[in-house]
Amino acid sequence: MAFLTFRTIASNTFPSGLADFGVSGAHTRGGLTVASKKWCNRGVKVTNVATRPPPQSISLAPDIESTDEDEHKSVAWTSIRQERWEGELAVDGEIPLWLSGTYLRNGPGLWDIEDYKFRHLFDGYATLVRLHFEDGRLIAGHRHVESEAYKSAQTNKKICYREFSEVPKQDSFLSYVGELAGLFSGASLTDNANTGVIKLGDGRVVCLTETIKGSIVIDPDTLDTVGKFEYTDSWNGLIHSAHPIVTDTEFLTLLPDLIRPGYVVVRMEPGSNERKVIGRVECSGGPAPGWVHSFPVTEHYIIVPEMPLRYSAGNLLKAEPTPLYKFHWYPDSKAFMHVMCKASGKIVASVEVPLFVTFHFINAYEEKDEEGRVTSVIADCCEHNADTSILDKLKLENLRKYSTEDVLPDAKVGRFIIPLDGSPKGELVAALDPNQHGRGMDMCSINPLYLGKKYRYAYACGAQRPCNFPNTLTKVDLFTGTAKNWHEEGAVPSEPFFVARPGAIEEDDGVVISIISDKNGGGYALVLDGTTFQEIARANFPYGLPYGLHGCWVPKEIV
């Protein structure tokens, strides 16, 4: 597997501000394709973004040693060897002066130990990337998250915990039996928190994955691993949704019950480590709960999806992965959407819906009649046309193949219409023509002020065909049924993250941040105007970062 080797290492601590950096030297980048056209007006001012030119400066950067194998290959699927790096990046364009805070992105960054190569995108050890914006300038860096799984692998030169598709190799039958016992107790499950990163209402920042033990507190300024997030309640389950709903006032998540098939819905208050039960949903079909990587909420309801891609104890016990890994597809068990009242925990609707496959819900809201009564719930997601092959398409060997073959499974903005009038069935439709975004759709964000409310815009990764992975940034307008797409040949963008301008009135008044893995071994931070979806700034890293998953925004504290 191709990877980057660093000859020198920059400072190992992040500065608290930008005053320590002042090394001069300009750096520029060529034109950008926006909506399939060359956009050459670099540095153009957009009317709703107040800016001034940032100082031309660049930090000390590590030298990069590349091999012939690296040339003209995307860095997206390579490991990053250096444990940490930080420095100021030269900005081409203009970063809005109001953009003040830190964007954190989590995701897999190390996909091999010694000579052993991991198999799946979701297996890699977590790597945090930090983009700190202040006064039009940008300090960036990365660091591996020091989970027990990561530290044990580094010490023992082998995998020591069960990852998404990886199982530790055992030397004897007795050690294999012991490892299986550890699976049931949770001891052998990974704490590799490589999926998401969230800011709790009390300010703590936590990296997450689907194992409950994989909840790790980090310092957003230094990226240091602070320690485990220890839950103080008695809910001793092994897994939870990788994407809780987090606001300044609460934390909501789902705990799948594999023994008595169902889902426990819990809430946690800011400053607390105790999850309190809101209610429980019994499964309507199948031998196990469906995978709940994420779920949506409205102002008054929590929506619990029951997907026929269900957890499978049989597949979990296997030493070698199946095409569906820890899951099994049960189409005969049907699919359901459950609506729970936040206040009482009572189920107000459980409806059968068409079969679906989704990792990520976008948002949900309540539809009301003329008298203000809620008649239905609308829940939008990135839906893969009930095609489970998307999981196996994310094997690293598939992603690393350079081919013009169009193998990315189709996806759409799937809209669930859940009636609250007692009807037994709901609908699943496309919220807009999937060709607007290349029939690719995943990794989504919205203006957080519209969480649980009727909204117009969503930001996601779409596709410009042919491709084997989402390769565009897409702004979806759900009112007009249209989309704007950013695309650069050979680039692999990570989740577009929307940050609203302070005091904004319009829903899309803000910026969209993404980190791009380039085709020639490089990478850069990209800032798009949230309204026009045109580039307003980019900053090249002195090395290429691998693809990442999900992020969060930590605003600068006002002293």
Structure tokens at 264: 């426990």
Whether 110 and 159 have beta carbons less than 8 Å apart is answered as no
DSSP labels, 15-37: -SSSTT---B-------EEETTE
What does the angle CA 314 – CA 216 – CA 232 come to, to the nearest 5 degrees?
85
User: Which DSSP state fits 54?
Assistant: P
Query: Is 132 within any annotated ligand binding site?
Result: no
> What gap in Å lies between CA 289 and CA 283, rounded to an integer?
6
Report the alpha-carbon distance of residue 39 to residue 33 in Å, rounded: 6
Q: Backbone dihedral region of 554: left (phi > 0), alpha (psi from -120 to 50 degrees) or beta?
A: beta
- The Cβ-side half-sphere exposure at 68, using a 13 Å CA radius, reads 0
> In a 10 Å sphere around its CB, with 0-12 CB exposed, 13-18 middle and 19+ buried, how is residue 369 labelled?
exposed
HSE toward the beta carbon, residue 123, CA cutoff 13 A: 30
What would the two tokens of residue 265 be?
Answer: 């819905």
120 marked ligand binding residue: no
Dihedral over alpha carbons 85, 91, 96, 102 (to 10 degrees): 0
Q: 176: which 2 tokens?
A: 């294999």
Say if residues 535 and 93 touch (Cβ distance below 8 Å): yes
Q: Which residues pair with residue 104 across a beta bridge?
A: 130, 552
Using alpha carbons, select from 216, 84, 187 the residue that is nearest to residue 140.
84
Contact 129, 139 (CB under 8 A): no
SS3 74: coil
How far apart CA 118 and CA 168 sit, in angstroms, is 11
Contacts of 342 (CB under 8 A, 6+ apart): 278, 297, 300, 301, 302
What is the full DSSP assignment across 86-118? EEEE-EEE--BTT--EEEEE--EEE-EETTEEP
Start-to-end C-alpha separation, the chain: 47
Name the token pair of 115. 């000579």
Query: Nearest 10 degrees: CA dihedral of 554, 205, 160, 290?
Result: -90
Give dist(CA 358, CA 363) in Å, integer: 13
Quick check: helix, strand or coil at residue 448? helix
Query: Is 72 flagged in the annotation as binding?
Result: no
Residue 306 and residue 287 in contact, taking contact as beta carbons nearer than 8 Å: no
Q: Please state the residue numbers annotated as binding site.
A: 243, 293, 360, 550
Q: Please state the residue numbers annotated as binding site for Fe cation.
A: 243, 293, 360, 550
